[in-house]
Amino acid sequence: MIALVATALTLALATPFAPPSPLPSATPAVAAGTAAASAAGTAAASAAGTAAEPTPAQARGAELAGRMVAGLTDTDALHHLGVFQEIADAEDGHRAAGSAGHERSARYAGRVLADAGYQVTYEHFTFPYREPVAERLTVLGDPEREIEVHALSYTGNTEPGGLTAPLVEIRAHGDGGAGCAAEDFAGRDVTGHVALLARGDCTFAQKQANAAAAGAAAVLVYNSEPGRLSGTLGEPDPAALPTGGLAQADGLELAAAARAADTPLTVRLDLRELVEDRETVNVLAETRGGDPSQVVLVGAHLDSVAAGPGINDNASGAAGVLATAQALAQAAPAGGHPHRVRFALWSAEEHGLRGAEHHVAELSPADRAAVALYLNYDMIGSPNHGLFVYDGADRDPRSAAISADLTAFLGGSAATARPTPFDDRSDYAPFLAAGIPAGGTFAGGDGLKSDEEAALWGGTAGEPYDPCYHRDCDTLENIDPAGLATHTAAIAQAVGRYAWALPAPVDQP
């Protein structure tokens, strides 16, 4: 199968692909979003000089950033999203790593970057591809009823047709979450049962491993907040149990039914994944000038899940990075900035951050030391959008400085950014693990917008930032153009400034 995929990759990279005609002009909301982001950058530039006069390099960086933001149009990132949507439409509805849809996306991105004058390379690697082929949960009885279930990545497989077993609810004992400690299973008849647990306090893998040690046949984890649950066990494990995710409402209903039943509640669970090694590619592009020992690295993952086209997750981040790369080339065609800028579009993020992990692992000690910082952009067009900045305050002084800068770039009279924790769910994780400072912005995923956030940013409180997260409805209709424009302008602010002057480390308590 690897040879077949490699052949498909070669053909995909060799076959011409014409981008669609430009999208229609943006709505006034998009223009307003871009103007707000530009104003925010201007405010940030003013704020940067309050503590001390900017150095000549900082002043040059602010000037370059201003030209870059001014050069962005309302349709730059939207145009790239249109291309990625057309690619998905032509390739089975998705752009998952190891598929023709992803390879065509990578080739398109590489051509955009090469046309802008960057030195483009393709970083090939092999990864364990996984795709659900059966996801079905049936509560037996009269009548039977179906409940939506999603296989966690790296799940163990049931036999075709599924397994039939009693359901047992597992609750937490002590301060930990349900299933996070072996004691949670003590005194319960778990052997041969399907264990039902709430999400929280430890990894899905740990819950699954504890259930397996207690003799369970399978695991169902339900969400700790409204909405469906998808996730991963992290790594392949031949001993892993079949493990699926449920929406909170379904999990609570099952738990209540299991407690109320006179006889054990019986379910039939069919969870299976296609598992095979596939080849894929990261796209890397860097300026031809600038100090190679001082690299500003800016990245986003390009792959989608197999369930849909992934226009917000994460064509939006990739489009923002591409638009910023074009803006830098237009604003500084002769270069001249002292730091080298490298743009990266990672693959196989949805399979466990594989592309970014491969890149970091392959860096020599000298090359790793040369990466001054990494900026990550994942889901920046969420329709119920937020203005989040990864919180580096408790990481390292330069990550803290990046957070402060990005907060200022997203700030302004009508839009105030809020911190979000580094939770290791995106491509910044291997960089931080390698000691490389990191930061980035985020418009929100499957979490729910609070009343305070809705008052601050608009949108609907109590609803997900992205209701189509990891679903087939993650299309162009799932994008907030104004939010995308605001985040893209913030990327340009950071790149223009850091090309000239790295953020001064912030003193930490």
How remote is the C-alpha of 102 from its chain's centroid? 15
Tell me how many degrees the CA angle 30-33-36 measures, rounded to the nearest 5.
150
Q: How big is the chain, counted in residues?
A: 509
Q: What is the largest CA-CA distance in the chain?
A: 77
Provide the 10 A C-beta neighbour count for residue 181: 19
Q: Roughly what angle, to the nearest 10 degrees, separates helices 56-71 and 317-331?
A: 110
The pair of three-digit structure tokens given for residue 317, joined into one six-digit string: 């981040």
- The single residue listed with the structure tokens 């966690």 is 152
Alpha-carbon gap, residue 193 to 214, rounded angstroms: 10
Is 72 buried (19+), middle (13-18) or exposed (0-12) by CB count in 10 A?
buried
Mapped onto helix, strand or coil, the DSSP state of residue 192 is coil
274 phi, psi to nearest 5 deg? -75, 130
Q: Of these residues, 273, 349, 350, 453, which one is catalytic?
A: 349
Q: How far apart are CA 331 and CA 329, in angstroms?
A: 6
Residue corresponding to tokens 């006069």? 53
DSSP secondary structure letters along 164-187 = EEEEEE----TTSPTTSSGGGGTT
C-alpha–C-alpha distance, residues 361 and 372, integer Å? 16
Annotation says 135 is catalytic = no
Q: How far is CA 127 from CA 337, 351, 448, 469, in A?
A: 36, 8, 32, 23
Enumerate the active-site residues. 349
